[in-house]
Amino acid sequence: MPPMQYTDPHNRMFKNLRLSLTDTCNLNCVYCTLGNEDEIIADHRPQQNAHFFIDLVAILHQKLKLESIRLTGGEPLLYRQLPQLIQGLSQLNIHNINMTSNGFLLARQAKTLKIAGLKSINISLDAMDENVFYAVTKRKNVNRVLDGVDAALQIGLSVKLNAVIMKDINESEILPLLDFAFSRNITLRFLEVMAMGHLNNSAQNYFVAQQHILDIIATKYQFKIVERKPSATANYWQTTNGHRFGIIANESAPFCHDCNRLRLDAKGNMYGCLSNNNPISIDSKLDSEALAQKLQQAMQQKQLFKFAGSELSMLEIGG
């Protein structure tokens, strides 16, 4: 049998679909938006019906035998048919349905989403201190995110935390965030800032390298590196008292060589790589051959070595 059309010469396959449900958000984080407080929006625009997404994922799953799907945004908790969507995706036999969220609206939705079939959630939490939280997100009330974390844990969702570390904005939060994560026995991943959207040409002004983050953690904890799993985005370390933390280091420790991610936005556009701005439009009526060609096109977008920067906004495509 000939090799499948949608692998590349480096044996990379699409196994993990990141599905962006909306391009709006209720926070205004400086790494994602221009960080203007007055741009926070109450979004009443029409959204795609859950069946639009379910039908697209169904044809992709038929071809790719997806192992996991991650719901992103913008902010996916703003997607009004989220429980119906998760239920529909579960019925496609995709068992790992996960989400990345800012957690602001999570406390009141966690139980419904767990019942619908959500398995795990990565919650963005860039600061414990209220003033620093405001400096990053332009919203007050970090406690709403903390309540969301606790609600998710209580209901039995698997939880990780994500913190984008930016120079002169929230470096001071590295240890407090870690202490909080360890107190809840959950894994926190720090992220190097990415040159996406409005930061495409200025991310270096905010860049904090993996080694610098490790140096700060070493002032309080002893740790050793854990072996990386294939296609993982993060490197992980374990402290001498058994807690785990990770770093997603797009710049210092790139992970393109075994990247298995495919992205789909709320307009039905696929992207094979975050570094590529050329959308590949699909619809659920595509025949098998046409879809295979589009998947091959998406695969060719992948970078070989590392993320190369992009005009794409994280609001549209997730991180």
Strand spans (E) along 156-293: 158-165, 187-192, 223-226, 235-239, 244-248, 261-264, 269-271, 280-281
CB of 64 to ligand SF4, least distance (A): 15
Three-state secondary-structure class, residue 299: helix
Of 47-55, 90-98, 253-261, 284-292: span binding ligand SF4 (CB under 6 A): 253-261
Task: List, in order, residues 6 or more apart from 135 with CB less than 8 Å away.
Answer: 30, 127, 169, 170
Burial 280-304 (b: 16+ CB within 10 A, else e): bebebeeeeeebeebbbebbebbbe
> Within 259-278, which residues bind ligand SF4 (CB under 6 A)?
259, 261, 273-275
- Among 302, 312, 317, 319, indicate the residue that binds ligand SF4 (CB under 6 A): 302
DSSP state of 4: P
> Within 209-228, which residues bind ligand SF4 (CB under 6 A)?
none
How many residues touch ligand SF4 under the rule CB under 6 A: the total is 10
CB of 263 to ligand SF4, least distance (A): 8
CB of 260 to ligand SF4, least distance (A): 8
Task: Specify the residue, 43 or 258, whose C-beta has the smaller distance to ligand SF4.
Answer: 258
- Among 231, 238, 303, 313, indicate the residue that binds ligand SF4 (CB under 6 A): 303
Task: Specify the residue, 207 or 307, whose C-beta has the smaller distance to ligand SF4.
Answer: 307
CB of 201 to ligand SF4, least distance (A): 17
Q: How far is CA 162 from CA 122, 127, 138, 234, in A?
A: 7, 10, 18, 11
Task: Specify the residue, 48 or 303, whose C-beta has the smaller distance to ligand SF4.
Answer: 303
Task: Specify the residue, 13 or 128, whose C-beta has the smaller distance to ligand SF4.
Answer: 13
Closest CA to 273 of 249, 304, 228, 294: 304
DSSP state of 272: S
Task: Specify the residue, 243 or 261, whose C-beta has the smaller distance to ligand SF4.
Answer: 261
Please work out, in degrees rounded to the nearest 5, the angle formed at the alpha carbon of residue 247 by the alpha carbons of 70 and 20: 20
Q: Which contiguous run of DSSP H or E holds residue 18?
A: strand 16-20
Site residues, ligand SF4 (CB under 6 A):
255-256, 259, 261, 273-275, 302-303, 307
